[in-house]
Amino acid sequence: MKVFNKNKLLQGYLSSLATDVSIGFIPTMGALHEGHLSLIKKAKAENDCIVVSVFVNPTQFDKKEDLVNYPKTLEKDLKLLEAIDCNVVFTPNTDEIYKGNITSTHFSFDGLEFVMEGEHRKGHFDGVGTIVKRLFEIVKPHKAYFGEKDFQQLQIIKKLVQKHQITVEIVPCEIYREKDGLAMSSRNVRLTNLQRNEAPFIFKTLTKARDKFEKKTISEVIDWVEKQFEKNPVLKLEYFEIANIKTLKPTKLKEDKIIYRAFIAVFAGSVRLIDNIALN
Ligand code: PAF
């Protein structure tokens, strides 16, 4: 496994590969877990050379304490990547990426950026767009893999690629869950025992909401979910929305032939967890 922390060295290595070598790319912020490994396994089955980046991107954090507290476990990550037979790891520092100017570019994602995560985490998707575009320019992958846990991010990256005519195929990967249903996230390690025990309530509530969706109105489903969280002393609901998967606009109106998904963000103390589920 080759590990590079400089753009030039990584690019030098990748351009030395034969022209027919396909590159599969998995951008991460480290603190790798089984969810990341499942993306890497999928990429390995579909590409000749796997590149994983580990970079905690400062411009996508709307709160400084979230960036400071984000788990950083590079040594452990490298061991996991070695064990899974990853080919190339890119571990740049902030200077290497931002060249002394740690700001994000402003993007238009045709409105996908204003709702849900975009509404609650100002500037988040400009930060994501900036780093993902930069990494695509450096790595020039044929395929790039993103988990559906960050469903809004996935749609935004598809839009980024389309609008900027970046020649990469974006491959969505299903949410990877713990046995008790909690969506895998690097943030889960920050949960206390009490919060960790309570956290599967998020997915349990989502699955019950999905079951109710067929017969109830959207407002009834939203009210029901909000009531469940009002009764929970450990988890604080930030938002629960039902949205058309194309526009991501939260709606109260159920229409025929539209595919809907439910989206949720919850605080367990200062740890923010998100999840989503297909409804029809
Ligand atoms: O999903 C993530 O871990 C990050 O948002 C990403 C795509 C690696 C960009 O920093």
Domain 186-278, CATH = 3.30.1300.10
Query: What confidence tier does 252 reach under pLDDT thresholds 50, 70, 90?
Result: very high
pLDDT band at 218 (very low <50, low <70, confident <90, very high): very high
| Choice from 39, 56, 128, 273 to test ligand 1 binding pocket (greatest atom count within 8 A of CB) | 128
Q: Which residues pair with 146 in a beta bridge?
A: 172
Q: Using pLDDT thresholds of 50, 70 and 90, give the confidence band for residue 169.
A: very high
**Residues 253, 279: Cα–Cα separation, whole Å:** 14
The 10s digit of each residue's pLDDT in 93-124 is 999 999 999 999 999 999 999 999 999 999 99
In this predicted structure, what is the pLDDT of residue 67? 97
Residue nearest to atom 9 of ligand 1 (CA): 128
Taking Cα atoms as reference points, which of 244, 248, 54 lies closest to residue 139? 54
To test the pocket of ligand 1, the residue of 52, 56, 61, 132 to mutate (highest count of ligand atoms within 8 Å of its CB) is 132
The model's confidence at residue 277, banded by pLDDT at 50, 70 and 90, is very high
Q: Give the position, in ligand 1's atom list, of the atom nearest the Cα of 27.
A: 8
Ligand 1 centre to CA of 131 (Å) is: 8
* pLDDT tens string 255-270: 999 999 999 999 999 9
What is the mean pLDDT of the segment spanning 158-177? Answer: 98
Rounded distance from Cα 176 to ligand 1 centre (Å): 16
Q: What is the mean pLDDT of residues 193-219?
A: 98
CB-defined site of ligand 1, < 6 Å: 27-29, 57, 60, 128, 131-132, 150, 153
Closest Cα to atom 1 of ligand 1: 28
Distance 61 CA to ligand 1 centre (A): 11
pLDDT of the residue at 120: 98
Please state, for a pLDDT cut of 90, what percent of the chain lies above it: 100
- Pick from 275, 68, 280: which is nearest to 185 by CA? 275
Where do the structural domains in the chain lie, given as residue ranges?
Answer: 2-173, 186-278
Instruction: Name the residue among 60, 56, 64 with its Cα closest to residue 122.
Output: 60
Task: Report the DSSP pairing between strands 169-173 and 235-244.
Answer: unpaired
- φ, ψ dihedrals at 215, nearest 5°: -100, -20
Distance from the alpha carbon of residue 19 to the mean position of ligand 1, in angstroms: 28
CA distances from 41 to 81, 121, 153, 162, 181 (A): 11, 31, 21, 26, 21
At 165, is the pLDDT very low, low, confident or very high (cuts 50, 70, 90)?
very high
Confidence of residue 79 (pLDDT cuts 50, 70, 90): very high
pLDDT at 72: 97
Residue of the CA atom closest to atom 2 of ligand 1: 28
pLDDT per residue over 144-163, tens digit each? Answer: 999 999 999 999 999 999 99
227: phi then psi, degrees, rounded to nearest 5: -65, -40
The residues assigned a catalytic role are 36
Instruction: Compute the CA torsion angle 211, 215, 219, 223 (nearest 10 deg).
Output: -50
Class of domain 2-173: alpha beta
How far apart are the C-alpha atoms of 56 and 268, rounded to whole Å?
A: 22
Predicted confidence (pLDDT) per residue in 128-142, tens digit: 999 999 999 999 999
> DSSP secondary-structure letter at 114?
T
Rounded mean pLDDT of 217-245? 98
- Cα-to-centroid distance, 221 and ligand 1 (Å): 30
**CA 262 vs CA 5, 120, 124: distances in Å:** 39, 16, 20
Confidence of residue 64 (pLDDT cuts 50, 70, 90): very high
Q: Which atom of ligand 1 is nearest to the CA of 53?
A: 8
pLDDT reported for residue 106: 98
What single letter denotes the amino acid at residue 202?
I
pLDDT of residue 41: 98
pLDDT on residue 280: 97
Question: Of 135, 187, 182, nearest to 161 (Cα)?
Answer: 135
User: What percentage of the chain carries pLDDT values higher than 70?
Assistant: 100
